[in-house]
Structure 1
Amino acid sequence: MAVISITILISFKTGGMWKKTNTYIELPEVKFDSNCYFIVTQDNGDPFDYYFWSPFDELNQLQHDRLMAPIVSVTENDVDDNGVTDYATIEIKFKYPEEKFEVKSLHWMLFYKFTLNRRSIIQANGVIFDEIHRPTNLASYFVQSDLVFDQRKPLPSYGNYHFKNDLFSKYTDDIDENSTGTEFNYGSVSYQPYEIRKQAMLANYTLKMDRKVDFWEPKSAETTDYLKLSFEFHVLASELVYETDASELLKWVWIQILAIFVIVNCVFQQLTAVFIENGVFGTLVRHNKVDKLE
C-alpha cells in the first residue's frame, strides 16, 4: 500500500512526465486567390506620393484616385499527385500610374487560405508579406521561397475549427469557443499595412517564408509600361505539434505509473532488505508457548 501511495504521489506531484503533445508530418492544403495588397512609392519622403491596390472595397472607394488595378494570374501545381498543392505561382502586372512616377519602394501582401485535416480539421486565412526598397525605378520583381507551417501553440487533437474570412482576428483561448464547429469572431481592424502585419504575426497558426531568394530589374527605355511581379512558392510538409488526446494521455499515464511503481517497489524492497540485514529494524524475538496436556 505504501509503494502504491508513493507511486501516485510522485506521478501527480511532478505534474506528469507523460507526453502531452504529439508530432506529425503534414502538408497543409494552401489556396491562393487574387486578393493582394500593394503600395508603391517613390521613397521621396512625401506621405501622399503613393499608389496602391487592396482587397478592401471600402478602402479602394475612399481613395479611388490612388488606385492601380492589377492583373492577377494564379497557377497551382500538384507535383506528386496527392491532391494537395505543392507549388503555387502568382503573376501580377500593374500599369505604371504616371509616366514620371518611379517605383522605388514596394510593400506587398498576398492572401491565402489553408486547411489541415490529419487530426483535427482546421481552416484559416493568412497573409504573406514583405517589402523592397531600391535606388532605381522598378520594372520587375521576382520572389521564390519555401512555405512552411508556423505555430505558436499546439494544434487541438480533434474537432472542426473554421476561422472566418475576416483575417485579422485572434484565436481565442476560451474553451467553450474552441468546441467543435465553432467559428471564431475576428472583429474589425484598421486597413493600415502595419496593423495587418501585426495581427498576422499574432496568429497562432500561419505559414511563413523560408529560404527566400528575390531579385529585381530596373526600368529602362526597353522595358514595358507595366510593373511585373512574380511569386513562386513551394509548400513543404512540416512537423506539426498536436495536443495529446484523452486516450493517448491515459496510455502514457498508465505506462508512467507502472514504470514508477516497478522502480519504487524495487528500491523499497532493496532498502528493506539492507535495513534488516544490518539490524536497523532490530531483531524481533518470537516466543512459542506450548501448553502440555496432562
Structure 2
Amino acid sequence: MTVVEIYSHSIMNRYKSSLCTKASLFILITLVLTFIPPLLIAYRSQGFWITTNTYQEQPDVKFKKEAMIILDTPQPGGFFAWSTYSNFNSLLQQNLRIPSVKSTETDVNGDGKFDQLNFTAQFPLAASESITSLQMILIFDFKLYRMSTFQMESLAYITFSSLTPGAKLTIFGDLRMYQKISLRHRGTDTRFNTSIVNSTSLFASDYDLTNILSSYSQRNVTTVYAPNYPIWKSGRGASQPFTIEVIITYPTETITYTPGFWELIKWGWVQYVTILLLFLWVFKKINVAVFSSQVFQTIVERPKLKQQ
C-alpha cells in the first residue's frame, strides 16, 4: 500500500540564556535589523507617507443669475455694457445697453445635480453699430460633498475677438476647477465663499474686470472656463440683435485633498509590512542556522515526545 504524507508540523526547540550574554546581544541586534531597516526603506522610497490623494466627484454647480458683459465696438464711444448689478449699470450712463437674457440649467442624467448651463443674451443694436469683441463673467455657486463640505462662489470668464463684426457668438466649454492647494479631508470649508463682485459699491473700480480677475486669481481654489468650440458668425441684419449663446458643461472633477491621520497610517502600514515580511523571513533563517549550530552557547530545551 502506498503511503503519502497527509500532515506535518514543526517541533519547537527553545534556546535559553541569561540577559548579559553574546546570544542575547545577537538577538537584540537581529531584532533591530529586522524592524528598523524596512521603515527606513519604505520612507526613502517615496512611498511611506502620502501627502496628497485624489478622488473624483461631480460638483454641485448652480448659476447665481449674476453676469457682467462688455461689448467692444469700432464706433465712437468704444463699448456697450450691461450687468445684473444695478450700481454698475447706473455708472455706465450712455454706454448701458440692456439685452434680452435667458438662462437654463439642465440635469441630463437625473442625478439631482445640474450638468449644463445654456445662457443667451441678445443685445439690440442700431444699423450703424457693430460688435468686434466681448468680455463677460458669469457667477456660480460651487459645492463639493464627498470628503469635506466645500463651498465657494466662482466665475466663468469668457472672451472673444474678431476683425470682422459679428452677428452671433456661440461658444461651448467646460467649467473646470483649478486648485493651487489641496482641500481638507473632512469638515466644512467656506474659505473661498466670498463675493467676487462687490455689488453694493458705487465706485467704478470695483466693477473693472481687471481688478475683479486680479483679485479672483489670488484665490487658491477657483474655476476656469475652458472654451472648446467658439463659433463667430458675421452678417448681422440691420434690425437684428447681436446674440451671445454660451453653453457651459459641469464635468466630473478630480479633486486633490490632504489625507487624514488614519488614511496615512493605513497607507504607511501597507508599505512597511510588505518590506518587513522579507526581513522576517531572512532573519528567521539566520537565527535558525546560528542557534541550531550553537554558535553562541545556550541551554536547549527540546520537546518531550509522548510514548506511543
TM-score (norm 1): 0.74
Structure 2 CA distance for partners of 1:31 and 1:271, relative to 1, 3 Å: same
Displacement after TM superposition at 1:143 (Å): 0.9
In structure 2, distance between residues paired with 1:210 and 1:194? 19
Aligned equivalent of 2:69:
38
Determine if contact 2:127/2:239 at 8 Å carries over to the other structure: no
Q: Which residue of 1 aligns with 2:231?
A: 215
Q: Could you tell me which of 223, 245, 248 is aligned with 2:260? A: 245
Change (3 A) 1:13 1:68: same
1:72: which partner in 2? 101
RMSD of equivalent CA atoms = 3.3
Q: Which of the numbers 190, 207, 214 marks the counterpart of 1:198?
A: 214
Instruction: Number of aligned residue pairs: give it.
Output: 258
What amino acid is the match of 1:54? S
Aligned sequence identity (%): 23
Deviations 1:142-161 (A, max 9, x none): 11123333323322110112
CA-to-aligned-CA distance 1:5-53 (integer Å, 9 cap, x gap):
3344455577762433332221111111321111112257x7x522212
Q: Give the corresponding residue for 2:179.
A: 151
CA–CA separation in structure 1 for the residues paired with 2:251 and 2:114: 10
Report the alpha carbon displacement of residue 110 of structure 1 after superposing the two structures with TM. 1.5
CA contact (8 A) 1:20 1:244 kept: yes
- Provide the C-alpha distance between the structure 2 equivalents of 1:58 and 1:168, rounded to a whole number of angstroms: 11
Equivalent residue, structure 2, for 1:20: 51
Structure 1, residues 231-262: CA drift from partner, whole Å, max 9, x if none?
Answer: 11222212222221222112112222322322
> What residue number does 1:105 align with?
133
- The one-character-per-residue Cα deviations of 1:241-285 (angstroms, maximum 9, x if unpaired) are 2221222112112222322322344455678899x7xxxxxx968
State how 1:118-267 maps to structure 2 within 5 Å. Answer: 118-162=146-190, 163-167=192-196, 190-210=206-226, 212-221=228-237, 223-224=239-240, 226-266=241-281
Q: Is the 8 A contact 2:236 2:242 kept in 1?
A: no
Q: Provide closer, same or farther for how the CA distance between residues 256 and 221 of structure 1 changes in structure 2, counting only shifts above 3 A.
A: closer
Range with greater deviation from structure 2 (58-67 or 228-237): 58-67
TM-score w.r.t. structure 2 length?
0.71
1:69 counterpart SS class: coil
Q: CA deviation at 1:207?
A: 3.2
In structure 2, what is the Cα distance between the partners aligned to 1:267 and 1:237?
48
Of the two, which has the highest radius of gyration? 2
How far, CA to CA, are the matches of 1:264 and 1:95 in structure 2?
A: 79
With over 3 angstroms needed to count, the CA separation of the structure-2 counterparts of 1:208 and 1:202, relative to structure 1, is same
Conserved? CA contact 1:28–1:149, under 8 Å: no
* 8 Å Cα contact 1:24/1:241 also seen in 2: yes
* Alpha-carbon distance, 1:61 to partner: 2.8
Q: Is contact 2:66–2:138 with CA below 8 Å preserved after alignment? A: yes
CA distances 1:182-222 after superposition (whole Å, capped 9, x unpaired): xxxxxxx8432223233434433333344611212224336
Residue identity in the other structure for 1:19: I
Measured in 1, the distance between the counterparts of 2:124 and 2:239 equals: 12
The amino acid of 2:81's aligned partner reads F
Name stretches of at least 5 consecutive residues in structure 2 with no aligned partner: 1-30, 199-204, 300-308
Alignment-mate amino acid for residue 251 of structure 2: L
> Structure 1 stretches (4+) deviating beyond 6 angstroms?
270-274
Contact 2:103–2:119, Cα closer than 8 Å, also in 1: yes
- Residue 59 of structure 1 aligns to a residue whose secondary structure is helix
Deviations 1:118-140 (A, max 9, x none): 11111111111132222232221
| Alpha-carbon distance change, 64 to 273 in structure 1, aligned in 2, over 3 angstroms | farther
Unaligned runs of 5+ in 1: 170-188, 277-282, 289-294
Q: In structure 2, give the amino acid aligned to 1:109.
A: I
2:142 corresponds in structure 1 to 114
